[in-house]
Amino acid sequence: MFFIVSKLVSFLFSPFTWILLLLVLSIFSNNAQCKKRFLLSSLQLLLFFSNSFIFDECMRKWEEPITQNYTLDSVYDAAIVLSGMINYDVSHERLQFNRRNDRLMQAILLYKKQKVKKLFFSGGSGSLVYRDTKEALMVKPFLEQLGIPDTCLIIETASDNTYQNALYSKPLLEKHFPKGKFLLITSAFHEPRALACFHKQGINVTSYSTDRYSGPRKFQFDHIFIPNVEALYNWDSLIHEWIGYVTYKIMGYL
């Protein structure tokens, strides 16, 4: 139920939903003054949330800073990689990777550089429809094809959200790595909530943020003044994290 509600809340708090709702209200309102206000409010929201500079500044304040490799300890027992980067293309029978795939790529590099001994992948379905499609199960054969042996791969397939990532990972980590030392690899915007969840479970993790949205601060004309549909889309991720963090705090998950 919590999983379904979280999906619904994300939709309701999406800027696109707000903008669309105001447009619909402006169309069907019989009051000329209200119609104008709804339309103006919709335009204001569209300009605000499609501004790349505003989005970058807000995201920069939220994202966990990137961990420089030279600051890491010599070696970690495992890299804990959180899911949310893979879809399965049924018609072509192959994996499809989204922009958050940087989580997996960075983990593979750390393994190849012998900074981590093993890769621990946590993630179940993440879909309301395809509940049997477990992301951790899909990624394991892919990693084996890259030459990473089965003995260096551990997966957790029951979790649907970040809290469960930490909750269900804990017994497996304690079983395989008593008093182990881990890197927690996830997207920079997701890292604050993920870190808090794992620390709440008493798991010793060091942040390793990936696929950062906010790059170097830019003062270019198009970045500051020209609306960008990608910025509008990206706000969903940030707002989802804000809502998730507050909800987890209330629920006692953090």
Average pLDDT, the chain: 91
207-219 pLDDT per residue, tens: 999 999 998 899 9
Rounded Cα gap, residues 24 and 34, in angstroms:
12
- 186 to each of 58, 194, 203, how far by Cα in Å? 19, 8, 16
User: Domains in the chain, ordered, with CATH?
Assistant: 2-63+225-251 (no CATH), 69-210 (3.40.50.620)
The pTM of this model reads: 0.89
b/e for 142-177, b at 16 or more Cβ within 10 A? ebeeeebeeeebbbbbebbbbbbbbbbbeeebeeeb
pLDDT band at 97 (very low <50, low <70, confident <90, very high): confident
**What is the per-residue pLDDT across 128-155, written as a single tens digit (0 to 9) for each?**
445 566 788 888 989 999 999 999 999 9
User: What DSSP character marks residue 70?
Assistant: G
Least confident of 57-71, 87-101, 138-152, 227-241: 87-101
Q: What per-residue confidence (pLDDT) applies to 2?
A: 61
pLDDT tens figures, 175-230: 999 989 999 999 999 999 999 999 999 999 999 999 999 988 999 999 999 999 99
